[in-house]
Chains A and B, each alone.
Chain A
Amino acid sequence: MTNMTDRQLLKELRAKLNERKKYEQEVQMLTRELQEVTNKLRESESLKSHFISNISNEIVNPFTSILGLSKSILSVEKNDWKKVVSMVALIHSEAFNLDFQLRNIFVAAKIEAGEVVPNISKVNVRGIIQSIIDSFNLVARKMGITIEFEYNIEYGFGKNFYFKTDSEKIKLILSNLLNNALKYSYKDSKVIIRVWTDDENLSFSVQDFGTGISDKNQKIIFERFKRLDTGINSLNRGHGLGLSITKALLDVLGGEIEIDSKKGEGSTFTIHLPEAKNIVEGFSGEGNDIFFDDEDEIF
């Protein structure tokens, strides 16, 4: 009889031990999962705080300059127009920069929210590129950099070549490439923008003669929040979003980007874009061509 109870006791103990082991294993597994999640969270948190400190500089610095400069304009001696003009030019370049960065940040947020869709129209290619160059001209002149525009499309309507694409996205892509080119250029150099077409592709390139990018860094530059802190004119500026945005926008348009760069000799970024009709065949974008096919299967 006592034998029996002993055996029973042993059995119960063993069962309890097993159960406990199972619990322990479960706890271990959960702990591991929790650790993984925590790590991921920490990583994304650190990226985010890095990003926020970056953009706060981006926004606060220009505002500080604009506030300071406009205050000093108010106290400029009468008729000292030269001084006023130079300060207004500074205010303009700060405001320009602020506007540019804010646009980028909003677009990045839109991309991450999945709200960016193509908005296709016939675009006057020469016109929009010229408008981007014009908008950067003042800033470039301040750095002593000339922007050259080589336009190699010989056909089209008059001087203008129309291409079905998304003008706002092209503008942003080109602005980012041009902004980078200026940022990494040496003083008193130039940036060349070229445009050409072949068959159904529109291509444009932005070439600078600045610092160039090493092979290793060429892979890094497309990652979000990553920046190379070697910009000559950058004064440590930028949010590291420009090329990530460019890449995401090119995705929407079905385009591609190439980079050709040598350390010390400068960089050329080239964009190839298909005409928009090739992106998604057979719909207008308004959704008004949703129709039923007889062959439709129902799920």
Chain B
Amino acid sequence: MEQYSQHFLYPSTFFASKDPYVVKTILGSCVAICLWDPVTRIGGINHYMLPNWNGNDLASPKYGNIAIDKLLERLAQLGAKRENLKAKIFGGGELIESRTNGAYIGERNIRVARMILEEKKIPVVASSTGGKKGRKILFFTDTGEVRHKFLDKKNV
């Protein structure tokens, strides 16, 4: 454990590293995609809030399609090989107080993740998505291991 540095991942940001990191994030209807290359042990994770960029806001990783592209780009910069990458998908719960901005945000967030990963031929080796609860996940960038726990609503 000592050799891991730590990072807390905020919504609308992403993180990738060559060095072993443990990344923590809290998910409600947001989705986080963990990507790592088991050969080079380079990994990264994003945390997006909405499925697709609407073309109007700043093109930030708040949006799934942008968040995935940016994470892949960063991983490639760090030297991860696209053909080695494996993915895990978490989040996308429908919390009751999911605000009013359109129904089934969680579901749509998950769908975008699966669609884009399939298109890019990156295998999804594990996932925990949907449901009505929030999640806390810890992602180990070198091994791709994820520790996952459901949260009570008040914590999300």
- Residues on A lying within 8 angstroms of B by beta carbon are 43, 108, 111-118, 222-224, 226, 241, 244-245, 247-248, 251-252, 280-283, 285-288, 290, 292-293, 295-299
Q: Name the distance in Å between A275's Cβ and chain B's nearest Cβ.
A: 16
- A245's closest neighbor in chain B, by CB? B58
Q: How far is the CA of A114 from the CA of B56 in the complex (A)?
A: 17
**Which residues 126-143 of B have a CB within 8 angstroms of A?**
126-128, 136, 138
Contact A280 B147 (CB under 8 A): no
Contact B60 A114 (CB under 8 A): yes
Contact A299 B6 (CB under 8 A): no
Per a CB cutoff under 8 Å, which of A115, A247, A282, A295 touches B57? A247
- A109's closest neighbor in chain B, by CB? B58
Q: Name the distance in Å between B81's Cβ and chain A's nearest Cβ.
A: 22
Residues in B neighbouring A280, C-beta threshold 8 A: 10, 26
Residues in B neighbouring A115, C-beta threshold 8 A: 13
Residues in B neighbouring A43, C-beta threshold 8 A: 55
Contact B138 A117 (CB under 8 A): no
Q: Name the distance in Å between B135's Cβ and chain A's nearest Cβ.
A: 10
Q: How many chain B residues have a CB neighbour from A under 8 Å?
A: 38
B6, B57, B146 — which one has the most chain A CB atoms within 10 A of its CB? B57
- Residues on B lying within 8 angstroms of A by beta carbon are 6-8, 10-14, 22, 24, 26, 46, 49, 55-62, 67, 70, 88, 90, 126-128, 136, 138, 145-149, 154-156
| Known contacts A290-B24, A290-B138, A292-B138; A299/B126 CB under 8 A | yes
Contact B149 A114 (CB under 8 A): no
| Known contacts A244-B57, A282-B155, A287-B6; A114/B70 CB under 8 A | yes
| Known contacts A287-B6, A290-B22, A298-B147; A248/B13 CB under 8 A | no
A-B pairs with beta carbons under 8 Å apart, 8 shown: A114-B61, A224-B59, A280-B10, A285-B8, A290-B22, A293-B136, A293-B149, A299-B88
Q: Name the distance in Å between B23's Cβ and chain A's nearest Cβ.
A: 8
Residues in B neighbouring A112, C-beta threshold 8 A: 58-60
Residues in A neighbouring B149, C-beta threshold 8 A: 293, 295-297
Contact A224 B148 (CB under 8 A): no
- A117's closest neighbor in chain B, by CB? B10
- B128's closest neighbor in chain A, by CB? A299
Contact A290 B6 (CB under 8 A): yes
| Known contacts A118-B10, A296-B148; A251/B62 CB under 8 A | yes
Q: Which 10 A-B pairs have the closest CB atoms?
A: A114-B61, A287-B6, A223-B56, A296-B147, A299-B146, A287-B8, A114-B13, A299-B126, A117-B10, A290-B24
